[in-house]
């Protein structure tokens, strides 16, 4: 269950990276901080709503503030695009140069976040914590092991399903989505057939704003909000995007789950598992982890290296490299 939750959060980020890469053609190093920026608005608005006494009952208030945060995020992204990225896009700079520019954006975004909200750890989750507590589950089923479902996990799942299915519907079925895919496949041909590049870029940033904010808020609800952690999350997100085949949204979506499951499977403590499986005298006395949890990040990156070695374009064909 944690794997699915974490995977959904990664998947949203990975689709974000992949969309920017596909349509705007550069690796966006500001990913983590953009997610953090959107979440910051949600956190601040949540505090404001809480003080005003507005809430959603058993659901976290953050869900109410989400649309406003998305709006702020989209405005910020369009602002950045207009003043920073547009110049390089029009002068057709090399992708590396755009990547370096995104590093600059990363610095600025990080500074703004820290100046506004500070670098501290914040929890903004309210409402009901658990949908299903371990003890309740035991009572219900009569099994001796508990199973808990945190409400954030359920929320993450539901929101991700809604958002991702809408996104794929949009990309495949609507005219704008098709034009976006055309632009990403072959820019010149798309321009010839009368697609407006400005509109495509704008729509991409708007979608990116949705994905970044929702992904960030979900992660923040599940764990907590800390700018530094968000910056670090950029790395597994990149790993997920590349593993899935960069430039390919479906690949990125699955890549997120691949990374999350691998991390959890490798660092999971198998002690209980073996206790049930093996006779008494073989019972292990340590935690029986393949690797200690310290190596969580390292695992996902090793997967990336292996994928790069054997299938450089990702598990699901992405862009040519």
Which of the 8 DSSP states describes residue 130?
A: E
Strand runs labelled E in 143-290: 149-150
Q: Interface mask (CB under 8 A) for another protein, residues 48-87, using x and -? A: ------------------------------------x--x
Q: Which stretch binds another protein (CB under 8 A): 103-111, 187-195, 200-208, 266-274?
A: 103-111
Residue 297 interacting with another protein (CB under 8 A): yes
Residue 118 interacting with another protein (CB under 8 A): yes
Q: Reduced to 3 states, what is the DSSP secondary structure of residue 122?
A: strand
Q: Which of 111, 134, 161, 287 binds another protein (CB under 8 A)?
A: 111
Footprint on residues 9-38 left by another protein (CB under 8 A): 26-27, 29
Site residue total, another protein (CB under 8 A) = 45
Cβ neighbours of residue 71 closer than 8 Å, sequence gap 6 or more: none
264 touches 250 (CB < 8 A): no
79 touches 219 (CB < 8 A): no
Is 17 or 214 the residue whose CB approaches another protein more closely?
Answer: 17
Q: Which of 37, 76, 238, 268 binds another protein (CB under 8 A)?
A: 238
Q: Reduced to 3 states, what is the DSSP secondary structure of residue 123?
A: coil
Residue 70 CA to residue 218 CA, distance in Å, equals 13
Is 147 or 235 the residue whose CB approaches another protein more closely?
Answer: 235
* Dihedral sign (CA 3, 169, 19, 74): negative
Residue 278 CA to residue 284 CA, distance in Å, equals 9
Q: Reduced to 3 states, what is the DSSP secondary structure of residue 252?
A: helix
Is 167 or 243 the residue whose CB approaches another protein more closely?
Answer: 243
Residue 162 interacting with another protein (CB under 8 A): no
Which of the 8 DSSP states describes residue 83?
A: I
- By the criterion CB under 8 A, which residues form the site for another protein? 26-27, 29, 84, 87, 94-97, 99-101, 103-112, 114-115, 118-119, 231, 235, 238-239, 242, 246, 292, 294-295, 297-298, 301-302, 304-305, 308-309, 312, 321
């Amino acid at each position: 269950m944690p794997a699915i939750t974490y995977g959904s959060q990664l998947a949203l980020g990975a689709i974000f990276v992949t969309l920017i890469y596909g349509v705007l053609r550069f690796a966006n190093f500001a990913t983590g901080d953009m997610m953090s920026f959107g979440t910051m608005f949600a956190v601040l608005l949540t505090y404001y709503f809480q003080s005003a006494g507005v809430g959603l009952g058993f659901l976290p208030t953050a869900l109410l503030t989400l649309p406003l945060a998305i709006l702020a995020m989209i405005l910020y992204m369009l602002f950045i695009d207009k003043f920073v990225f547009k110049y390089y896009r029009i002068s057709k700079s090399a992708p590396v140069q755009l990547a370096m520019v995104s590093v600059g954006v990363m610095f600025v975004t990080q500074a703004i976040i820290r100046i506004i909200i500070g670098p501290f750890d914040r929890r903004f989750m309210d409402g009901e914590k658990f949908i299903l507590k371990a003890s309740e589950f035991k009572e219900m089923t009569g099994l001796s092991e508990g199973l808990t479902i945190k409400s954030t996990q359920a929320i993450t799942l539901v929101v991700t399903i809604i958002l991702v299915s809408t996104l794929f519907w949009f990309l495949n079925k609507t005219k704008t989505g098709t034009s976006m895919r055309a632009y990403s496949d072959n820019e010149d041909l798309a321009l010839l057939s009368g697609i407006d590049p400005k509109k495509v870029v704008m729509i991409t940033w708007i979608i990116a704003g949705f994905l970044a904010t929702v992904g960030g808020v979900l992660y923040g609800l599940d764990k907590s909000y800390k700018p530094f952690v968000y910056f670090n999350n950029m790395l597994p997100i990149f790993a997920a995007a590349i593993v899935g085949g960069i430039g390919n949204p479906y690949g990125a979506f699955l890549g997120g789950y691949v990374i999350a499951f691998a991390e959890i499977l490798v660092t999971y403590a198998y002690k209980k598992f073996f206790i049930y499986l093996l006779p008494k005298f073989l019972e292990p006395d340590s935690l029986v982890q393949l690797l200690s949890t310290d190596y969580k990040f390292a695992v996902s990156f090793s997967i990336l290296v292996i994928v790069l070695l054997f299938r450089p374009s990702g598990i699901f064909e992405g862009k040519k490299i």
